[in-house]
Amino acid sequence: MVIRNRIAEGRIQGFQAGRESGFRMGRCQYALDTCYPAPTPLREASVLFIVQGIFDAIDKGIIHGLQQTVRVVYTATAADMLRLANELKPNLVLVMNGLHVFPNDHANHVDQVRQMGIRTAIWFADDPYFTDQTDALAPHYDYVFTHEMSCVPFYQGIGCRQVHYLPLAANPTVFKPQPISPNYLSDICFIGTGFPNRIALFNELTPFLIGRKVVIAGGLWDRLDRFALLQQGIKLEGVPVEESVKYYNGAKIVLNIHRLTYDATYNKNSRNIPGYSINPRTYEIAGCGTLQITDYRHDLEQHYRPGHEIETFQHTGELLHKLSHYLIHEEDRLRIAINGMRRTRMEHSFANRLVKLLDIVFA
């Protein structure tokens, strides 16, 4: 009898999950079918794009955006930048981030590209966390773009003449609603490294999370106080981009928690420049048509309306209240998720960002 009851209960849960997933996909598809982003102008220019090489989602998103905005697009790694700039003579060399895996003589190569009469621009995606490294690199470029609004005066203060705030975005060909198999379903999902502030928050959330389907993916999460209680849903090795999209699609709620800007262990930001801007994950989660609850950043309301296209929290008590509400109120959850997805598709593509970048560079 017990086994029969469990089988029946499993069938009911499976039916409910399938119904919710199908209902969500139908709503998302209708929203996308009635979503008409403005046409992207095509500029008669050639761009050599230098990938950052460690965050494929952003690199591929920019390549996709460039293909929509300029006539000729070349892509290369930093090691080939100087040679290809000399051979191809593009109108612009655009570098993504310029950190982590770039060669030590990269700044010298940028100087040589400028001496060829070719415009150079860099788009920093890790600000303000590595400003102890970007301060030596930024002045070598003609144009500096940063996703972090607090870093604009910083770069201006070290002598960069052309500094512009340019938020990141999401690639709509990757971060989108999609049907997924049951093993990607969850109540609550978080994907990212277990930095100290995130560990502290999840330590507080643990009693609430016990007994719910939770997915956490990323390194350092074995430092949780009660790791064993959540271990079944934790993937310490992290997940690739394609898998993260599936987990976002399968979650009722995805949490987004920005890392601290003053963490001396993991950051190189000795000036303690604050973080005012939302991270790229904000756009990526929203693009999947899933309810996102995030901590607050100063520029958030320029991109999404809290309570209408995204949810926010200021402290753990508020987060617990909103988790409890949205887990059981499917219509509220879907309404905000779909509104956020529409806003992302309409405004927050890399093509939209690159139109602004190119307008500045070729003004």
User: Where are the domains positioned within the chain?
Assistant: 43-169+349-361, 182-347
In the chain, % of residues over pLDDT 70: 95
- Mean predicted confidence (pLDDT) in 18-26: 80
- Give the Cα separation of 258 and 195 in Å (integer): 9
The predicted structure's pLDDT at residue 170:
98
- Give the Cα separation of 167 and 148 in Å (integer): 7
pLDDT digits (tens, 9 = 90+) for 248-291: 999 999 999 999 998 888 899 999 999 999 999 999 999 999 99
Tokens found for residue 46: 């050639």
The predicted structure's pLDDT at residue 18:
55
- Mean predicted confidence (pLDDT) in 301-327: 99
The predicted structure's pLDDT at residue 4:
62
- Mean predicted confidence (pLDDT) in 60-70: 98
Q: Tell whether pTM > 0.85.
A: yes
The predicted structure's pLDDT at residue 25:
94
pLDDT at 234 > cutoff 60: yes
- Give the Cα separation of 198 and 190 in Å (integer): 10
The gap between the terminal CA atoms of the chain, to the nearest Å, is: 75
pLDDT at 335 > cutoff 80: yes
- Mean predicted confidence (pLDDT) in 112-119: 98
- Multiple choice CATH, 43-169+349-361, 3.40.50.2300, 3.90.550.10, 3.40.50.300, 3.10.20.440: 3.40.50.2300
The predicted structure's pLDDT at residue 55:
85
Q: Hey, do 43-169+349-361 and 182-347 end up sharing a CATH topology, with the first three levels equal?
A: yes
- Mean predicted confidence (pLDDT) in 194-204: 98
From the CB of residue 242, how many other CB atoms can be counted at a distance below 10 Å? 10
3-state secondary structure of 71: strand
pLDDT at 185 > cutoff 80: yes
Q: What are phi and psi of 306, to 5 degrees?
A: -60, 140
Burial of 206 (0-12, 13-18, 19+ CB in 10 A): middle
Average the pLDDT over each of 31-45, 170-184, 292-306, 320-334 and give the range with the smallest value.
Answer: 31-45
For residue 2, name the pLDDT band (cuts at 50, 70, 90). low
pLDDT at 53 > cutoff 60: yes
- Multiple choice CATH, 182-347, 3.30.429.10, 3.40.50.2000, 3.90.1150.10, 3.30.70.580: 3.40.50.2000
pLDDT at 12 > cutoff 60: no
